[in-house]
């Protein structure tokens, strides 16, 4: 491989496509070259991109009709990368939210893999269809370009049977109704970086709180996931920007029987109208809630913090103790006030926060006399995807003898 070899990482949503480009350097090291996204797909399309140092590379708007969907957005972004930056990646890595029960690691993509992943669309309706869309586009337009799917569920496949099951008939588990867990690429990155960040606790009992518009928590033991707050879908666990988190299934039955809502309406309601947005009536954005004087906005924040505390107790029980607590993702990395309030909830663990270190988003934000050290570790799911993609590319002939590249 030459120094100009690059890997493209794609994370596609319903109205945006985020992408990053990494160069492959000596000994397989990866260096981020640029990051960008195509926003406003189908409404107000806009391509924005910046270099590794943050310098703007592009900021341009497009007519709606030129970017009506994700494949069109991929076409525009790909053309910009090829024609203007002369970037021709040797492979593309994709974030795919749901790998179902069969995928416990990244996989080289062919048409058969895409067909299998389509079966999990109903399990992640907000993410899976959009994750698969650019994969299909590239398969059609560049059939010999290797693509790798990296799954948000894969890291949690180390869960024991008791953590994986629901108390329902076994046939449903065999069909795939089980507790998958999500945000696995983020937790995997944290688990891999903790030995450098906190070598004393990296292989111990660690709770990681991935707090963003999507939010969950994970219990790590020996660097492996043993329990998670999310389950069959990304609706469970903590309250999120627009998702409710843990909710009595009876509420769903009530919505259907008493409010006359269809299954698709209930799905839309739970994924788009609940969580911080539903509880506050103000916003799904924690920054707006923190700035608001509205009593319901305050209640939404109180609820968010309270549920994090409750789930920390559950995960500590799964771990049979606790050696460290880690904050990550948008809210976890940037909101000192939320971290401080969560730390108060963890006071019974012996957690003592250092206000000065917390206010400057330091790596270690607990006091020396805190029984449990508390860290802020920025996550990097895109780098994790790039690393997996490169590893699979390098090892494909030996580790996947039956894998055929689509040509």
* Counts for the chain of helices (H) and strands (E), in that order: 15, 13
Task: Give the DSSP H or E segment for 136.
Answer: helix 128-141
Give the integer Cα–Cα distance in Å for 265 and 267.
5
Confirm whether residue 285 is marked as ligand binding: yes
Q: Where are the alpha helices (DSSP H) in 233-380?
A: 249-257, 263-272, 275-280, 286-291, 295-319, 329-334, 336-345, 355-359
Cβ neighbours of residue 210 closer than 8 Å, sequence gap 6 or more: 183, 186, 187, 216, 217, 218, 328, 329, 332, 379
Confirm whether residue 110 is marked as ligand binding: no
215-221 and 205-211 strand pairing: antiparallel
Give the integer Cα–Cα distance in Å for 336 and 388.
32
Number of other CB atoms surrounding residue 251 within 10 Å: 12
The verdict on whether 152 is a catalytic residue reads yes
Confirm whether residue 288 is marked as ligand binding: no
Confirm whether residue 213 is marked as ligand binding: yes
Confirm whether residue 165 is marked as ligand binding: no
Confirm whether residue 211 is marked as ligand binding: yes
Confirm whether residue 127 is marked as ligand binding: no
Give the integer Cα–Cα distance in Å for 297 and 86.
47
Q: From the candidates 5, 69, 104, 152, which is the catalytic residue?
A: 152
Report which DSSP code applies to 7.
Answer: E
How large is the C-alpha radius of gyration of the chain? 21
Give the integer Cα–Cα distance in Å for 194 and 326.
10
Confirm whether residue 14 is marked as ligand binding: no
In the chain, what is the straight-line distance between the N-terminal and C-terminal CA atoms, in Å?
21
Give the integer Cα–Cα distance in Å for 100 and 104.
9
Task: Give the DSSP H or E segment for 134.
Answer: helix 128-141
Is the sign of the CA dihedral 371, 357, 347, 218 positive or negative? negative
6-12 and 91-96 strand pairing: parallel
Confirm whether residue 11 is marked as ligand binding: yes
Contacts of the segment 274-278: beta carbons below 8 A, 24+ positions apart: 274/239, 274/242, 274/243, 274/244, 275/239, 275/240, 275/241, 275/242, 275/243, 275/244, 275/245, 276/239, 276/240, 276/241, 276/242, 276/300, 276/304, 277/241, 277/242, 278/242, 278/244
Confirm whether residue 18 is marked as ligand binding: yes
Confirm whether residue 231 is marked as ligand binding: no
Confirm whether residue 241 is marked as ligand binding: no
Confirm whether residue 332 is marked as ligand binding: yes
Confirm whether residue 333 is marked as ligand binding: yes
Confirm whether residue 284 is marked as ligand binding: no
> Which amino acids are annotated as binding site for Mg(2+), given as ranges?
11, 381
> Which amino acids are annotated as binding site for substrate, given as ranges?
95
> Which amino acids are annotated as binding site for ATP, given as ranges?
18, 210-214, 285-287, 330-334
Catalytic residue numbers, as ranges: 152
> Which amino acids are annotated as binding site, given as ranges?
11, 18, 95, 210-214, 285-287, 330-334, 381
């Amino acid at each position: 491989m030459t120094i100009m070899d690059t890997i493209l990482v794609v994370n596609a949503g319903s109205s945006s496509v985020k992408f990053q480009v990494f160069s492959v350097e000596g000994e397989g090291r990866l260096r981020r070259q640029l990051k960008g996204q195509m926003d406003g797909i189908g409404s107000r399309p806009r391509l924005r991109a910046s270099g590794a140092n943050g310098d703007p590379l592009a900021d341009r708007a497009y007519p709606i009709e030129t970017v009506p969907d994700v494949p069109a957005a991929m076409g525009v972004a790909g053309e910009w990368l090829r024609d203007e930056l002369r970037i021709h990646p040797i492979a593309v890595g994709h974030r795919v939210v749901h790998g179902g029960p069969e995928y416990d690691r990244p996989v080289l993509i062919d048409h058969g893999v895409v067909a299998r992943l389509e079966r999990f669309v109903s399990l992640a309706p907000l993410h899976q269809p959009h994750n698969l869309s650019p994969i299909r586009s590239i398969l059609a337009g560049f059939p010999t370009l290797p693509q790798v799917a990296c799954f948000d569920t894969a890291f949690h496949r180390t869960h024991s049977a008791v953590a994986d099951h629901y108390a329902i008939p076994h046939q449903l588990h065999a069909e795939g109704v089980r507790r998958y867990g999500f945000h696995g690429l983020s937790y995997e990155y944290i688990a891999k970086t903790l030995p450098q960040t906190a070598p004393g606790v990296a292989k111990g009992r660690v709770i990681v709180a991935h707090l963003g518009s999507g939010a969950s928590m994970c219990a790590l033991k020996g660097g492996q996931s043993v329990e998670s707050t999310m389950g069959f879908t990304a609706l469970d666990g903590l309250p999120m920007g627009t998702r409710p988190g843990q909710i009595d299934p009876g509420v769903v039955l009530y919505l259907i029987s008493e409010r006359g809502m269809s299954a698709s309406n209930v799905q839309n309601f739970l994924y788009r109208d609940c969580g911080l947005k539903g509880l506050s009536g103000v916003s799904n954005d924690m920054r707006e809630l923190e700035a608001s004087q509205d009593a319901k906005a305050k209640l939404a924040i109180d609820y968010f913090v309270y549920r994090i505390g409750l789930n920390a107790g559950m995960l500590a029980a799964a771990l049979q103790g606790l050696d460290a607590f880690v904050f990550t993702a948008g809210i976890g990395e940037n909101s000192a006030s939320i971290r401080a309030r969560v730390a108060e909830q963890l006071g019974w663990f012996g957690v003592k926060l250092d206000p000065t270190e917390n206010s400057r988003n330091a790596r270690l934000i607990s006091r020396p006399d805190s029984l449990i050290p508390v860290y802020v570790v920025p996550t990097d799911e895109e780098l994790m995807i790039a690393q997996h993609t490169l590893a699979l590319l390098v090892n494909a002939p030996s580790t996947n003898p039956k894998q055929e590249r689509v040509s």
